[in-house]
Amino acid sequence: MGPRLLLAVCLILLVLGCVVQGSHLPQNDEPASPALLTKVQESLSSYWDSAKAAAQGLYNNTYLTAVDEKIRY
């Protein structure tokens, strides 16, 4: 046996061993990321709500000032 053939056989056996070990692992039907997705959605919703409130406050301040100026003149 040449060194290349011996190396190829060892690699094939290594890959087959990994495949066999992987087949014995329990497989989960549920993905593990819904909790992460929920956290990200809540975080984005919170940022969106705070940005919307800030924009509404700026609009109200600008609008009231403009209306007051028009009424005074």
Q: Tens place of pLDDT for every residue, the chain, 73 residues?
A: 688 888 888 888 888 877 766 655 566 655 556 788 888 888 888 888 999 999 888 877 776 666 667 777 6
Q: Whole-prediction pTM value?
A: 0.42
CA distance 39 to 33: 10
Q: What is the pLDDT of residue 37?
A: 81
Compute the distance between CA of residue 9 and CA of residue 17 in angstroms, rounded to an integer: 12
Give the DSSP H/E element, type plus range, for residue 57: helix 34-72
The pLDDT score that the predictor gives to residue 42 is 87
pLDDT at position 32: 58
